[in-house]
Structure 1
Amino acid sequence: MEVNATQKMYLPVDGILGMFNSLTGHHESDIMRPVLQSAALTTVPQHPKVSNISKTSMGIIKTVKGRMKHQDKRAVSLSRSSSSVNRQVSTDRLPKRSVDLLELGLTKRKNCLRIVVLGAPKVGKTNILQRFLGKDFEEHYEPTSEDFHRKLFHIGGEAYQIDLLDAASERDFPAKRRLSILTGDTFLLVFSLDDRESFDEVCQRLNEIKAAKAKLLNLKHPARAPVVICGNKADLASPRAVRRSEVMEALGEDVAFFETSAKDGTGMEGVFRALATLGGLPDETSPSRHQTISILSYQSMCIGQRGRRGSRGLGAPCAAVEPLARRPSFTSDLRLVLRSSTKHNKPERCHIQ
């Protein structure tokens, strides 16, 4: 029984298709289908020689391979082009520099507040700041050299800016620490309830703040300092080294004192409200009182409402953390101190000495 030419031709074509499927992982695609179909329809003499079938097969392989290479090159080109566009869009959408609402003319000086955080190492300063920024508690401890954060708010149609300076690196540098104290509007002093030495350090810092502010304002006696004090790690089961009665006796009844736990959130809301009150800011600056949005959304909101002085925002309070915030230079801080001192008296010498 004879097999016709068409049947003979389909055998090598099917074999070629199977070979490509196994080698490339492709199924019968739009690239291969027209090539194989055209080969199948080609007139072949009856009783072809093996050499003719081999030549035909090789021709199909070369054609398919050429088309696949062309498609691969095109795919790579499109992929590179798409990646380039995505990178460009991503870069364009990032803020180009740190957002300072006062410099941009988007808020008033009274709506800007710098909080300076002081305390001994390992008392939980960083985790308290993380709570304020809306981030989670970190179990792993890493020594902080210096942290500067900026959180921007939009409340009741007005923009607010809070700068947070954790001056941990200035613990052994009195002049630098004094400069940070002089530039601070309010202060957060933190000690650990299970560490007596950390409490003694807080007492020293409180006296230092009072003396520096009195000198800056040319006062004969230290005035009440805008300070909030945290006795942190209230969640620990170990015996306390410092009791509340001792704190009030040492620091005075007029100091805002809170027993807190940065780990479970105990007392943190009261701390943030007290800082807002001392700084003359709305209570909505507390993390539980506002919605967190991206910095790009915040910028769009502020720029969109720029110049609309007669309208009050009806949206819910919101805030964004500035990802590019950097501490102003010491030169800038010193100029700020000198400008502040000239409002009250002529400085006779450098105030950080």
Structure 2
Amino acid sequence: MELHATEKMYLPVDGILELFNSLTGHHESDITHPVVQSAALTPVPQHPNVSKTSMGIIKTVKGRLKQQDKRAVSPSRSPSSGNRQVSTDRLPKRSVGLLELGLTKRRNCLRIVVLGAPKVGKTNILHRFLGKDFEEHYEPTAEDFHRKLFHIGGEAYQIDLLDAASERDFPAKRRLSILTGDTFLLVFSLEDRESFNEVCERLNEIKAARAKLLNLKHPARVPVVICGNKADVAAPRAVRRSEVTETLGEDIAFFETSAKDGTGMDGVFRALATLGGLPDETSPTRHQIISIPSYQSMCVGRRGRRGSRGLGAPCAAVDTLARRPSFTSDLRLVLRSSTKHNKPERCHIQ
């Protein structure tokens, strides 16, 4: 039977609200929409066709609420292109690299692999880079992956830090991390000769692994920074600078550092930036730390703009949601890289 415009239709509003709540998960006290509030105050007698009509009204109300929410949250459409502008609310809640989001270029992304013996201060050195405080209490690091995002001169940059401490006793996993690294930070303690010997072994391993990946006949020259930590300790040094340069060569970037008082830290991070082709402003003393939401707003707001280079002071944000990429994805990256130089006959990780 058709309903004419002149006919009156009465609906049980209480029943509608109850059904609406069950479908949307709202409680009656939570409903603040003015239409629903005004309807809830009007008593209406029963009507036999409550089911179909109620469902129609519920769908209409839900549709109107969604439309209003979209208008409140989403920006307006661009009249020239017809495409809705990018909103920071649409950015993923999990950590996603700037390259995946299309906010930077591959050359602006750097992975630094950190290797060294236990208790040499690797974690505290990374804390310096991330803007955290020095920690006196030692806790063994299983594996740490950190990501710091930069905005320098109108460009977005990303540095991933992989502290591969747990791979010390797993050569295959360590080889995979080495092959995915762009630059390397090798750390030993100036008061521990064994830790220096381990750095020498790791340096040779890095050279051999990368030579094999690139199908070179001789060990490859690698972008590596050597860090002799604990320079603040008053005890006699077990390893001297002259011995380091004699063993590793004059061309190796070597710094005596103290993660505790900050000695030499700035030089280490600037050297890593130079080797990775990134600006000096990625060094912790050359930028200010901001929050991730502020960083996202800055990148999205300036995305695609021309002439934005040089605007704003250098800043950075630490991505606390960042997690180490899976070994499967790292392996694919290595295999993809090897095909650029030669046809791989077998896996380079073994």
Q: Residues 50-84 of structure 1: CA distance to partner in whole angstroms, max 9, x if unpaired? A: xxxxxxxxxxxxxxxxxxxxxxxxxxx99xx9xxx
Contact 1:114 1:164 survives alignment (8 Å): yes
Structure with greater helix share of residues: 1
The yes-or-no answer on 1:166 pairing with 2:175 is no
Looking at structure 1, the residues matched to 154 and 283 of structure 2 have their Cα atoms a distance apart, in angstroms, of 17
The yes-or-no answer on 1:131 pairing with 2:128 is yes
The yes-or-no answer on 1:195 pairing with 2:192 is yes
The yes-or-no answer on 1:144 pairing with 2:171 is no
Unaligned runs of 5+ in 2: 1-27, 33-88
Q: What SS class does the counterpart of residue 103 from structure 1 fall into?
A: helix
Q: What is the TM-score of this pair, normalised by structure 2?
A: 0.74
The yes-or-no answer on 1:103 pairing with 2:106 is no
Aligned residue in 1 for 2:8: none
The yes-or-no answer on 1:184 pairing with 2:181 is yes
Aligned partner of 1:210: which letter?
A: K
Deviation at 1:225, TM superposition (A): 1.1
Deviation at 1:164, TM superposition (A): 0.1
Aligned residue in 2 for 1:120: 117
Q: Identify the range of structure 1 (203-212 vs 305-314) with the bigger mean alpha-carbon deviation.
A: 305-314
Looking at structure 1, the residues matched to 138 and 99 of structure 2 have their Cα atoms a distance apart, in angstroms, of 34
Q: What SS class does the counterpart of residue 171 from structure 1 fall into?
A: helix
Looking at structure 2, the residues matched to 203 and 96 of structure 1 have their Cα atoms a distance apart, in angstroms, of 41
The yes-or-no answer on 1:226 pairing with 2:223 is yes
Aligned residue in 1 for 2:258: 261
* 1:323 aligned to which of 300, 320, 323: 320
Unaligned runs of 5+ in 1: 1-76, 82-91
Looking at structure 1, the residues matched to 241 and 288 of structure 2 have their Cα atoms a distance apart, in angstroms, of 34
Looking at structure 2, the residues matched to 282 and 313 of structure 1 have their Cα atoms a distance apart, in angstroms, of 13
Aligned partner of 1:173: which letter?
A: F
Aligned residue in 1 for 2:80: none
Looking at structure 1, the residues matched to 328 and 309 of structure 2 have their Cα atoms a distance apart, in angstroms, of 37
Contact 1:132 1:272 survives alignment (8 Å): yes
The yes-or-no answer on 1:276 pairing with 2:280 is no
Pairing 1:280-319 to 2, within 5 Å after superposition: 280-319=277-316
Q: Identify the range of structure 1 (217-226 vs 150-159) with the bigger mean alpha-carbon deviation.
A: 217-226
Deviation at 1:311, TM superposition (A): 2.9
Aligned residue in 2 for 1:87: none
**What is the alpha-carbon root mean square deviation over aligned residues?**
1.9
Looking at structure 1, the residues matched to 91 and 230 of structure 2 have their Cα atoms a distance apart, in angstroms, of 38
Contact 1:99 1:322 survives alignment (8 Å): no
Deviation at 1:95, TM superposition (A): 6.0
* 2:241 aligned to which of 239, 244, 264: 244
Looking at structure 2, the residues matched to 335 and 109 of structure 1 have their Cα atoms a distance apart, in angstroms, of 17
Looking at structure 2, the residues matched to 93 and 339 of structure 1 have their Cα atoms a distance apart, in angstroms, of 31
Q: Identify the range of structure 1 (131-140 vs 304-313) with the bigger mean alpha-carbon deviation.
A: 304-313
Looking at structure 2, the residues matched to 266 and 94 of structure 1 have their Cα atoms a distance apart, in angstroms, of 38
Aligned partner of 1:172: which letter?
A: D
Q: Identify the range of structure 1 (221-230 vs 199-208) with the bigger mean alpha-carbon deviation.
A: 221-230
The alignment of Structure 1 onto Structure 2 pairs a total of residues equal to 267
Q: Residues 234-274 of structure 1: CA distance to partner in whole angstroms, max 9, x if unpaired? A: 00000101111111111111100000000000000000000
Q: Residues 200-231 of structure 1: CA distance to partner in whole angstroms, max 9, x if unpaired? A: 00000000000011111111111211100000
Identity %: 91
Aligned residue in 1 for 2:211: 214
Seen in structure 2, the aligned counterparts of structure 1 residues 93 and 309 have a Cα distance that, compared at 3 Å, is: closer
Q: What is the TM-score of this pair, normalised by structure 1?
A: 0.73
Q: Which runs of at least 4 in structure 1 moved beyond 3 Å after TM superposition?
A: 92-95
Aligned residue in 1 for 2:331: 334
Deviation at 1:281, TM superposition (A): 0.2
Q: What SS class does the counterpart of residue 102 from structure 1 fall into?
A: helix
Looking at structure 2, the residues matched to 246 and 323 of structure 1 have their Cα atoms a distance apart, in angstroms, of 39
Q: Residues 252-311 of structure 1: CA distance to partner in whole angstroms, max 9, x if unpaired? A: 111000000000000000000000000000000000000100001000100111111443
Q: Residues 3-42 of structure 1: CA distance to partner in whole angstroms, max 9, x if unpaired? A: xxxxxxxxxxxxxxxxxxxxxxxxxxxxxxxxxxxxxxxx
Q: Residues 92-143 of structure 1: CA distance to partner in whole angstroms, max 9, x if unpaired? A: 8996110310000000000000000000000000000000001110001100
The yes-or-no answer on 1:153 pairing with 2:153 is no
Structure with bigger gyration radius: 1
Seen in structure 2, the aligned counterparts of structure 1 residues 93 and 340 have a Cα distance that, compared at 3 Å, is: closer
Aligned residue in 2 for 1:68: none
Aligned residue in 1 for 2:343: 346
